[in-house]
């Protein structure tokens, strides 16, 4: 997770054939940008993983007094991969629960490699790795 005063992204190429077409770029500011990945071991413990993910996101957002979150699927964080449907479903649950509690949530297109530019704040806490 990163606290980013600015984050821009644009779809570059599909990484999943069944992903819907996406061409739109987007930009946000003052956001926690979450690079997430679902591992094969997450199957069967989705609720625990989503709850821990929410706790970590809200904790970092609170440290920077922001209610903006960007979810970015980053499937090459590990060699252990869950099926893409599981990762997408868990990210959707996370986004919905964040939205339900007043967060402004956006996401990079799932199933795409994306170009991105990110300004990460200098504080040590602006760069946090959490394993669930």
Domain harbouring 91, CATH code? 3.50.80.10
- Structural domain includes residue 121: yes
Alpha helices by DSSP H, the chain: 46-63, 84-100
- Structural domain includes residue 131: no
Domain of residue 36, residue span:
2-126
Q: Residue 131: which pLDDT band, with cuts at 50, 70 and 90?
A: confident
* Residue 66 CB-half CA count within 13 A: 21
Task: Give every strand in the sheet of 112-119, ordered side by side.
Answer: 104-107, 68-73, 26-36, 2-14, 112-119
- Structural domain includes residue 132: no
Question: What is the rounded CA–CA span in Å between residue 27 and residue 84?
Answer: 25
pLDDT for position 80: 85
Does the pTM exceed 0.75? yes
Query: Residue 68's beta-bridge partner residues?
Result: 104
- Structural domain includes residue 29: yes
- Does the structure show a pLDDT above 90 at 124? no
Specify the number of domains making up the chain: 1
Model pLDDT for residues 66-89, shown as the tens digit of each residue: 999 999 998 766 788 899 999 999
Model pLDDT for residues 110-123, shown as the tens digit of each residue: 999 999 999 999 88
- Structural domain includes residue 17: yes
- Structural domain includes residue 81: yes
Element (H, E) at 4: strand 2-14
- Structural domain includes residue 36: yes
DSSP 120: -
Question: What is the rounded CA–CA span in Å between residue 130 and residue 50?
Answer: 13
């Amino acid at each position: 997770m990163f606290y980013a005063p600015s984050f821009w992204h644009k779809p570059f190429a599909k990484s999943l054939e069944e992903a819907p077409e996406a061409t739109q770029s987007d930009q946000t500011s003052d956001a926690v940008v979450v690079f997430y990945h679902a591992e094969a071991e997450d199957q069967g413990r989705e609720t625990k993983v989503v709850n821990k993910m929410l706790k970590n996101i809200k904790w970092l957002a609170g440290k920077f007094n922001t209610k903006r979150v960007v979810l970015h699927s980053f499937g090459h964080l590990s060699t252990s991969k869950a099926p893409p449907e599981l990762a997408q479903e868990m990210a959707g649950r996370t986004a919905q629960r964040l939205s339900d509690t007043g967060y402004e949530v956006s996401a990079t297109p799932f199933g795409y490699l994306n170009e991105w530019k990110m300004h990460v704040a200098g504080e040590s806490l602006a760069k946090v790795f959490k394993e669930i």
